[in-house]
Structures are given as C-alpha cells and as structure tokens.
Structure 1
Amino acid sequence: MLYMHDLWVNWFEGEENGYNVCRFHEWRKEDGIELVDQIPLLLVTNELFNFIENDLQDLPLPLLQDVHRKTYMKKNQERQTVEYAAVLTDGEDVIVFDTLGYTLPVKKSRLIPRQERLVFEMVQGKKPASYSIEESVLKEHHILSLAPAKMAGLTRRERQLKQLLMMALDQLKNSDHPEEIRYWLTEWDPDQYPYLKQLTNEEAWDLLYEGTCKGWTSLHEELCEKLVKGQPFFETIWQGENQHVSHKINSQN
C-alpha cells in the first residue's frame, strides 16, 4: 500500500457535492487547516472517485478494511490514530476523506498543488484498485443541492451565496404567503410584471427558480440580500460571506 506523509488538509464536513470541497486557491485563513502525519493513498476507478467526491453514501467495506487505522494525525505534538481515512485519486483528480469512524465520507478535503502532483507521480503506471459499489439510489439534485453545472465557474463566495439564495427561495415557496412569489419575480425580472395576473403561483415560482439557478450576477446578489433581510440565520450567512470580501479587499490595499 502507498502512503503519504505530512499532508495539509482543510476539511469540509457533510458535503455531498464536490464543488463545495474547496480547492487550495479558495482556502481561507480562518479555515481549520490540519496536518496529517501519515495516510494511505489509493488509486481507484473514475466511477468510485465520483461516487465518493459527489455523494454521502456508505463506502465499500473492503476499502474501509484496507485503510482501517492506517492514518495518523498530528495534534499538539501527539500522534492520533484515525479509524478510516485515505487519499483517493482516479489519476485525474484528488480528494481526501475521513469517515469520523462511520462508514461514509463525512469529511472531505483537497490537497495543496505540490502534494497533488506528488499523488499523480506515485500512482503513475499503476492499475486502479477494484472496489465494487453497492447498488445505491441514484443521486438526485434539487434546489438545496444544485447540479454541478449550475455552480460551474463560481467562486467559493458565489457558491455560498447561491446556496443561501436557494434556501431563501425554498422557504418562500413553502411559506404561508405564496402570493409573495409574484412580488419577488417582479423584483428579479420586471419584464414579467404585465403577465403576472396570468400566472399561477406555481408558474411564477418556476420562472423565478429557472431564472435564478443559472450563473451568478449582481442581480442574484441584490435579490439574495433583499430576501434574507430580517431573517437572523440567513443574515448571519450573508454577513459572513461579505465580511470575508471586505477582509480580502483590506489585505490587498
């Protein structure tokens, strides 16, 4: 078995979509970066890599057995054993997982570029390990778990705010005031105003969702800010992301 040493990881917990496991260039100084002393490296099939990167389902039992207690973290100069963790690659991309003792990849991380390159060097010329995936329910994307294509090209901040916008829209759809949907559709797309009377709440909702789930623009940002106003939980997320932007701007000046 191949092993890697002294890896820097930035864990993203409970993420089922790989686009939320941020690449190194999107790591933030307030993220909790940790040092892995030793961890197994596995070359796997593209199918298994995608399954682990973009889902939160049980991992193949033979894979868990192969990596059991072979990872060590360094914390306060002490070496701590990790139940199930590994670096995985399909030869094209790299991800790290830690199950926190469970059987699914609860925590995921990317690697820094230098260590990614080392992964590709170490597996060059080798054949992928064969682990069969149990028949699982086909993953469905929805408003609270958008398809990767709808997040493509967005920055970490934009992805976070887009998810926040989708949460606010989902709450709006299921609220006791569905007539508000028409108001927000007009805010989003004033050209729809003449046709609003002809639309049912469902049709208005579909237009609003289909419009906002594509890309990210200043219009998205404005709608998101207005929708979350007065909702403490949502406002906290909004302020956190915008606070990060102000820190970044200040550090560049």
Structure 2
Amino acid sequence: MKPTLLALLTVASLSLSSCSKTKDPVEPGDTQAGFVSGKVVDSQGKPIAKADIVADDTRYYNSNVLGQTDAKGNYKLEVGNGSFYVRGTVKMKYEGQNYVLDLFVEDDGAFDGSEGAVKNMTLKLSGERTGNFGDDGVYGGKIEVFTPIGFYDTENVELTLEPVAPLIDGTTGKKIVQKPDYLYIDDVPLGKYKITARYVPENKPMKVRVRNVGSFQNSLTTLFVPAYAGATGRYKMDIEVSEPE
C-alpha cells in the first residue's frame, strides 16, 4: 500500500520540527540560498552570544529550525525550501531573577528559504514590536495601577519611577513621571525602580506597595515580574496605592 500525500507531508513536517541545524556563521550581510543568517547585538551595538534563534516555517505548525549565536553574535541556520520567519530571544539574569527577552528583528517578514535571507536582531528595552506573526505590543514592561475600593480617579494618580541600578541591559535608566492611561503605564524599560505616587488634583502623596503584598509605604523599590505564570518576553508590575494623605 502506497503512503498517501497527507502522510508524507506529516512525516516531513515532524522531521523538520525536530531538527536543529546551526552552521558556521557567515559574515553579516551575506545572503546564501537555503540559509538564514544574521548578527544579534544589544542596544549599544555589542554582540550577544548564546541568543536562541528560531526559523519557523509558515506552512506548518511547530515546524522550525533552532540555533544559537556564537561569541561574535552571529548565527546561520539551514532552512531549505519553504516560507520562513525568524524570532530570537536572550536569557538574562538581573537582580537575582531570570528573564527571557524578545529580540527586535530587522526587516521582519517572511522569506523564501530557497533564496536565503539575512535577519539581524537587536535587544530593545522599549518601543513598538514589529507586529508580524503575532509579535504585537511593545518591548517594555507594563505597570497596572490599583486603587482603593471606591476610588475611581486612577488617571490622576501620578507615579514617579527612579532607577536605583542600571537597567537590565546595563545602560543607565531615566526617571519616569507618568499618569496611567486608564489603569496602565506601558513600555517601561526593564529595571529596578524606586516608586512613589501622588494624587495630582490635590497634590497629595499616596502610599504604595506591590498589590496585596505587605503594608503601604512612602516609597517602594521593586522589579518587573512575568506578566503571568510561565510568561517570557512580557513583564509587568502590579502597583497598589492608598487614599491621598
């Protein structure tokens, strides 16, 4: 009995999804048929080693080729025929916590594997994502502001965030003074911040804490955590404020 076309495609898909091919990197800028290559750097242009790279076949679910960057931040994956897009992540340890950060892909979009492509990537702590293949939103963390029951004027609660250490990528952070849009402050570079709050209409301070953790204090020093259990690439803070004093 001859195998059906569906069976053959299924076997091919499973075979591709399990493979991991990393070739000796070519120099950035070179395009080679059947391969995708590129360079990964941080926000200061320094190469990032051991970044995880995935070339995903757009035709089949969970069909991908895996690899990592070398010491110079270069990578090269053999992809063969098909329509692919590329994603990258980097693992970092910061203030005792583990983070997995998504990389910004230059010229993000599908490419023909038979023609090859160069896809360079950069570590960004803020700014819009590409919006392609589900990569929506921003790179920075989200802060959600919680207020006492019966207090609805969240948009007039002003938070001041002062970096107390270099940001997660080693750069110097900036002081942020901002009111939430409804409940949220978006796109905050990941770092360790001292946070204070005030109610703007009355210019009165508000005490703060991590939501439902400990007692309210005049200020709070804290980090971003995964947006939900098991999340990678998406981080947030849940900040609770007291009544104006």
Larger proportion of strand: 2
Q: TM-score under structure 1 normalisation?
A: 0.25
Report the TM-score when normalising by structure 2.
0.26
More helix by share: 1
